[in-house]
Every structure is written in structure tokens, then in C-alpha cells.
Amino acid sequence: MRGMHLLSARCSISNNQLFRGIHLSLYAHTAAATCCRVLTVDSRDQNMAGTRRKKVFVTGIVPSVGTNLLKANGCEVDQWESDILISRQQLLQNVKGIDALFCKLTERIDKELLDMAGPQLRIIGTMSVGFEHLDLKEIKKRNIQVGYTPDVLTDATAELTVALLLATSRRLFEAVHEVKSGGWGSWQPLWMCGKGLKGTVVGVVGAGRIGQEVIKRLIPFKVAKFLYCDRNRKKEVDALGAEHTTRDSLLAESDFVVVTCASTPETQKMFNSVLFSKMKSDAVFVNTSRGNIVDQEALYDALQSGKIGAAGIDVADPEPLPTDSPLLTLKNCVVLPHIGSAVLVTRAAMSELTALNILAGLAGEVLPSALNVSFFAALMVFLSTIAIVIGPTPPGTGVINLAFLCTLSKWTSPTNLVLPVWRSVILLMPTSTTTTPSLTMSPVIKFGTPVAVIIMSAVFVKTSSCSLGVYR
């Protein structure tokens, strides 16, 4: 076991010129390769003396590609290096005065920690796709940017989901136990029989990135029908041959229920005794999303009483799951220790993307993968671009829009505001210069669209920290 200590890597580099010459290039994301970023540093900046290096605290052992990127770009990196998770006390002690925080799901980032860190904290990079450990409301109050790591773990998690489904339905862990305990006797026709996929109905709750990849991987197993429930019908999921339906219909029809939705206030404890009672008595339940989506007492009762056939879970609440949990006493329940993304290449990509988010945040640039308002600023750019095409607008709209943009600039990079500012300037011009002759529209559209753009943008900014969607 490594000794419990802090590593400090200090590199001399200009504070003012710290991030000049950072270039990001994105490789295409395919089923065979994760999304990778390459970062290069202008050598001129590495040789310049500066006033203060940017301080980054890394809360644990992570793939070195991430910390190496931070060091290569002149950051002063302090890292907690131990096989034991950092304690709350040590965490609070080591965030004092930092400019950026590189954290994981295991650390709670709340008001107490943010107060201890200080007002200079500009960016939090979490090496996760989940963000329930972050107090987003408090973070937003302080205008701190947040980066996370979606997409890079999609394939790994989808693979693990299929593996867990098969291990549960075909009773693989029970079979291994029988071999090791001497239970393997002469061949019997019904011994260790499980449930196959061919000709069955598979229901996916939450058809986001991971849910879609699970469906793709199960198609070769000759599944009879795929069902999915999501907030809205999705063309890309329909294209896979899946049918959009209600949650209750999905539970009633499915032989396999696969949960790949995100943890939000509306999904916490969603799978309770009521929902388990709506499933088939031999249904296999698989959860690789978040543990708090399932009422574990209700799951135990459903498995123990025969309301459902079996369950495979890679997540629990709490984590780690206590060794005296009733779920661990059941033969028809497979529990894995949250290893959905536990692929070396995937974890390295997560570490790299977290570092890139941090570097971009410190440089005042757009984050490669932002969790907070930058996403909605991009949406505002899109809406404003549409509004540009509309043409003439009421007097004063440009002034209102510019005022709103000044407020928005507190939360997002100026590069996000180029098109909206352009839009506002156009709005300040005489009507004749903004008219688009090729378009003939009703006064409602002409005058209502700019106002709607401003209102919608304001709503998006206000709710950006909590409206990221239910399904992953």
C-alpha cells in the first residue's frame, strides 16, 4: 500500500501567459474508440517567468495522463496519493487557495468545501458522468464552471451492462460457486438453468447514450422486441427497431428491464415496491445507472418473495454496499462494485478529459465538456442565430438583449457570446437594415421571436444547474 502523502509538482510558467498555445483536437468518437483529446503547449510560454502558478488539487489516484497534462501546462499540482480515500478533514485542508479542483464521485463538493477553497476557485472538473456529489446550486452562485466526462465511458458501461445481464440471467456466479464448493455433480437436465435472450422482450428505461449502446449490443442475440421509455420519443432509438412506450407498459411486457437513466430528484427511489409489482414474476432487473434510483429494501422483498426473477446491479446506495446487506444473501442477486467504466483506456480518457476541462476553465475558454451554463449559452447562440434571420424587431430589443448578455458573461466564456452580440447589434440598427426581403412573416413571429429568445435564454441560465435531463 502506498504511503498516505501528498505529491507536489511545481512548474515555472507565466501566470499571464499560462495557457496561450493550448490547442484541442477531437478525434471522432466511434464504437471502437473513445473520444480522445490531444493538447499541445507553446514552448514559448513554458520558459516565461510568472507571478503565480495555477494551483490544482487532485483528490486521489487517477490515470497519469490527466495529471501530466496539468503539469505540462504549468499548473502546480497537489495530489492525494493513497489507496485509502481522502478523508473529509484532509479534503477541506487541501482545497484552501486552489484555482481548480480535480475530483471524483466519492467527494462531496458543497458549501463548506467551497467556502474553505476560497473565491479564487474557478473550475471544478469531476472525473465522472454523474454529478449528484456536486451542490450545483451553490456552485452556480459562485460562478464556478463545472466539467464532467460523458461519452468517453458510454461503450465501457454498455459492455458491462450486457455482461451483467448475461451473468444474472444465465446464473454464472451461482455456477462458479457450485464448481468451487463441490456442487458440480453428474449432469442434470434442469440444473443451473437460466433465462436466454432469444425471443424475449427487453425494456430500457432511459434511452440516452448508454441505453442506445446497450440495445445495439443486444440485437445479435435475436431479441424479439425492444421497448424504451424516455421523456420523448427519439428517432435514433426508433431507428434501432425499439418501440417507445410508457414506463408501466414497459414493465408489464419486458422479460428484461435495463435501467440506464440518470440520478435526478425525480428518479430517486423510482424503482420501489409499486414498480416491482408491475413486472413479470420471472423478469430480470439490471441497473447500471445509480444506486439511489432503486429502493433496495423493495428490491430485496421483490427478489425474496418471487415478485421478480433476478437482479443484477453494478451500483448501490450507499457505496460501498455494506457486507451485511440483505441483497448479498440472495442467490438471484448479482452485485458488482460499480465497475461500469472500469476499462483502462476508458479511465485514461476520463482523466484526460477532466484535465482538459480544468485547463480550459482556467484559461477562460469554453470547456470541452461543460456541465453548467455553457451548454445553454450554446443553445442561446442557436436561438439568436435563428432570430437574426427573422428580420425587423421592436425598438429597444437590442438594448435589452445586450444587457442580458452582459449578465450572462459572468457565467460563460466570451467566445460563446459572439453570435448573440452580433444579434444585438443588428437589433440596434434601423429596421430597414435588418429586413430580410426573402422572408414574409406575420407580425407575431417578427416581434415575438426576439422577445422569446431573451426569455428562454434567461430561463435556461437560471435553471442550467438542475435541468440537465433525466436520461443518460
Active site residues: 338
Contact 371, 146 (CB under 8 A): yes
Contacts (Cβ under 8 Å, ≥6 apart) of 81: 2, 4, 5, 6, 7, 60, 61
- Measured CA to CA, the distance from residue 207 to residue 205 in angstroms comes to 6
- Measured CA to CA, the distance from residue 240 to residue 227 in angstroms comes to 11
- Measured CA to CA, the distance from residue 456 to residue 462 in angstroms comes to 10
- Measured CA to CA, the distance from residue 393 to residue 386 in angstroms comes to 13
Q: What angle do CA 134, 214, 285 make, to 5 degrees?
A: 80
455 SS3 class: helix
In 3D space, the residue among 242, 235, 238, 196 whose CA is nearest the CA of residue 219 turns out to be 242
- What is the DSSP annotation of 413-440? -GGGGHHHHHHHHHHHS-HHHH--TT--
Query: Is the N-terminal amide bond of 318 cis, ω within 30° of 0?
Result: yes
Q: Within a 10 A sphere around the Cβ of 35, how many other Cβ atoms?
A: 20
- What is the DSSP annotation of 13-51? --STTTTTT-EEEEPPPBTTB---EEEE--HHHHTS--S
Contacts (Cβ under 8 Å, ≥6 apart) of 186: none
- What is the DSSP annotation of 442-453? -HHHHHHHHHHH
Q: Within a 10 A sphere around the Cβ of 193, how many other Cβ atoms?
A: 10
Burial call 244-280: b when 16+ CB within 10 Å, e when fewer: ebebeebbbbbbbbbbbbbbbeebeebbeeebbeebb
Maximum separation of any 2 CA atoms in the chain, in Å: 90
E strand or H helix at 5, and its extent? strand 5-9
CA 4 to chain centre: 30
